[in-house]
């Protein structure tokens, strides 16, 4: 069995997405709305960005440790706190970036990801685990799915 390179190159791919129930966050959804967070798989480039986020966090920490060792300065402590490198484990820095890149609805920025990590850690891990699962499955072959909305048909 050989890999059909031409077929692979011609295939249209779409990102895998999935609705993740987040019932513990239901208070932050409109009344009657199903509390789901839509996430998607990451591309290889985006996955690389998440690894770089963890490396940046580690590099900031190392630089600030060196500065702090040479001078006991309150500004260094303030900078460490502002950058969050004193408290954020590498795995969390990586997952924060995964959530920012992999969130479809709602859109998620770094501040929201940090708050979710701190205040709802189980949901944070559930969402990032799903993003990693979808990433591992790769993209889906086929045409993009429609929005599900249908236009009203006129009378014949």
Q: What are the tens digits of pLDDT across the range 14-56?
A: 999 999 999 999 999 999 999 999 999 999 999 999 888 766 7
46: Cβ–Cβ under 8 A, 6 or more apart, which residues? 101, 102
d(CA 101, CA 109): 9
The whole-number pLDDT of residue 129 equals 98
pLDDT in tens, 125-143: 999 999 999 999 999 998 6
pTM of the predicted protein model: 0.72
pLDDT by residue (tens digit) across 71-87?
666 655 555 555 555 55
* Per-residue confidence band for 93, with pLDDT thresholds at 50, 70 and 90: confident
């Amino acid at each position: 069995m050989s890999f059909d390179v031409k077929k692979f190159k011609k295939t249209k791919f779409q990102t895998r997405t999935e609705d993740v129930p987040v019932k513990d966050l239901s208070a932050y959804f409109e009344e009657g709305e199903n509390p789901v967070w839509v996430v998607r798989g990451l591309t290889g480039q985006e996955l690389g960005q998440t690894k770089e986020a963890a490396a940046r966090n580690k590099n900031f920490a190392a630089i600030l440790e060196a500065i702090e060792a040479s001078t006991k300065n309150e500004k260094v402590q303030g900078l460490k706190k502002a950058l969050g490198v004193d408290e954020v484990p590498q795995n969390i820095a990586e997952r924060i970036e995964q959530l920012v890149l992999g969130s479809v609805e709602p859109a998620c920025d770094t501040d929201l990801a940090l708050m979710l990590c701190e205040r709802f850690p189980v949901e944070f891990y559930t969402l990032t685990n799903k993003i990693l699962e979808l990433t591992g499955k790769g993209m889906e072959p086929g045409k993009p799915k429609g929005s599900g909305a249908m236009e009203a048909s006129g009378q014949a």
